[in-house]
Amino acid sequence: RMLDVARYAPTAGNSQGMYYIVIRDKEQIRAIADAVANWMEAEVAAGTENKRYFQVVLRAYRERGQDIIARNAPCLIFALARRLNITGVSNAEQSWAYAELFAPTIGLGTTIAGFIQSCGIAGYQPLLDLIAVPPKHKIVGTLMVGYPKYKYQRMPERQHLKVDFR
């Protein structure tokens, strides 16, 4: 139901064409998190701009056993598109916005799986193989889905609206 709502999200030039892969197998999700950690290690070794941040993540993941990559999510959803450009990523972001707004109405919690998503967008082949991404498709977004541990009765505090009308 959540993905059915997500398909109504606006897409650039009405391109639509989003394709989803839903992973619910815990062992496969763990293998995905491990692949992302391997990708991060390669990024650290290459001295990329995320080196320091990835080192902190890897210490927590490898040394302390904290799953800060997949967050022990019971479900991962990958959004795929035929093109990896600003259009595909933007379409996925719109899709996720619709999904995330709808999810609480059916008792689900969601959040973007940023590390996994970045690895997928980078085209890390071991991750693509684990997910069995179809030919000519690219990962353009990743969402974690599960049942929330806590239910909030009100919105978290937000900064004041800042608008400059001219």
CATH number of 2-146: 3.40.109.10
Give the orientation angle of helix 26-45 with respect to helix 51-58, to 10 degrees: 140
The token pair at 140 is: 């353009």
| Single pTM value for the model | 0.89
How far apart (Å, rounded) are the C-alpha atoms in residues 121 and 92? 12
pLDDT in tens, the chain (166 residues): 999 999 999 888 877 888 999 999 999 999 999 999 999 999 999 999 999 999 999 999 999 999 999 999 999 999 999 865 668 888 899 999 999 999 999 999 999 999 999 999 999 999 999 999 998 899 999 999 999 988 777 777 889 999 999 9
Q: Phi and psi of 106, rounded to 5°?
A: -115, 20
How far apart (Å, rounded) are the C-alpha atoms in residues 139 and 131? 10
Q: Phi and psi of 76, rounded to 5°?
A: -120, 140
Domain ranges of the chain: 2-146
